[in-house]
């Protein structure tokens, strides 16, 4: 088995492509060792002591190194962990944990949405799914919808995109411009 690596716009993150599905559908982020307890793979990566975030995409794993960590030391460790996991065909999530897909539900919203905005919200979701999410996944991350109210769309960056130096520019100049163009009711995009 050969695992490719790609750099991301976030210099602290690397994207690992095992050449097979990681999450068949959806994404999952582990932002702490405690969260990683749901996944033996994520836990093993955190156990290196040099990772601060592990993110599962459809066909990739993005790892964010801790401040001061050296990728020349960490990369071989992560590759070894990933190889062991995928060659052994171990489960991605521990039995009895709430593994699965990160799909935002009503409880994940930051604002209470107005029922009159339902058509606007549908348009926003369609644009995020068709235009934004594929581009962000290409950079080793994902974007999560967190709400819409009074012309403001709330989004959360995940994976390599969380904490990336260019994430603010991506939100303001890229995503905000796109949403404003196609959905005139949108006046601003804010990071959640």
Tell which wins on pLDDT, 100 or 76. Answer: 76
Hey, which residues does 145 pair with through a beta bridge? 155
**For residue 99, what pLDDT is reported?**
58
Cα distance between residue 179 and residue 129, in whole Å: 12
On the question of pLDDT at 103 being above 50, the answer is no
**For residue 162, what pLDDT is reported?**
75
Query: Where are the domains positioned within the chain?
Result: 4-88, 106-191
pTM: 0.77
Cα distance between residue 177 and residue 91, in whole Å: 40
Locus of tokens 């050296």: 70
- Give me the chain's average pLDDT, please: 87
Mean pLDDT of 166-188: 86
May I ask the CATH architecture of the domain 4-88? 2-Layer Sandwich (3.30)
Cα distance between residue 42 and residue 39, in whole Å: 5
Written as six digits, the tokens of 174 are: 């890229």
Q: Is the dihedral of CA 167, 30, 155, 140 positive or negative?
A: positive
On the question of pLDDT at 44 being above 60, the answer is yes
Hey, which residues does 117 pair with through a beta bridge? none
Cα distance between residue 112 and residue 90, in whole Å: 40
**For residue 107, what pLDDT is reported?**
46
Indicate the DSSP class of residue 177: H
**For residue 95, what pLDDT is reported?**
81
Judge whether 146 and 192 are in contact, CB under 8 Å. yes
Mean pLDDT of 45-68: 95
Mean pLDDT of 145-170: 82
Cα distance between residue 153 and residue 188, in whole Å: 6
CATH number of 106-191: 3.30.300.130
pLDDT tens digits, 57-93: 999 999 999 999 999 999 999 999 999 999 999 999 9
3-state SS assignment for residue 82:
helix
Mean pLDDT of 46-63: 95
Asked whether this chain's domains 4-88 and 106-191 adopt the same fold, the reply is: no
Tell which wins on pLDDT, 98 or 48. Answer: 48
């Amino acid at each position: 088995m050969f695992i490719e690596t790609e750099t991301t716009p976030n210099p602290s993150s690397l994207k690992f492509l095992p050449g097979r599905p990681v999450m068949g559908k959806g994404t999952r982020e582990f932002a702490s060792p405690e969260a990683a307890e749901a996944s033996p793979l994520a836990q093993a990566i955190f156990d290196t002591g040099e990772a601060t975030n592990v993110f599962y995409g459809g066909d990739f794993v993005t790892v964010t190194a801790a401040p001061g960590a050296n990728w020349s030391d960490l990369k071989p460790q992560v590759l070894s962990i990933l190889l062991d996991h995928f060659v052994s065909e171990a489960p991605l999530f521990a039995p009895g944990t709430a593994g699965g897909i990160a799909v935002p539900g009503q409880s994940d919203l930051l604002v209470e949405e107005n029922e009159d905005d339902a058509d606007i919200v549908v348009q926003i979701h369609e644009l995020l799914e068709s235009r934004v999410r594929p581009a962000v996944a290409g950079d080793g991350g994902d974007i999560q919808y967190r709400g819409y109210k009074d012309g403001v769309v709330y989004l959360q960056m995940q994976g390599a995109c969380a904490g990336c130096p260019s994430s603010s520019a991506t939100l303001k100049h890229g995503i905000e411009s796109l949403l404003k163009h196609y959905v005139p009711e949108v006046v601003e995009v804010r990071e959640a």
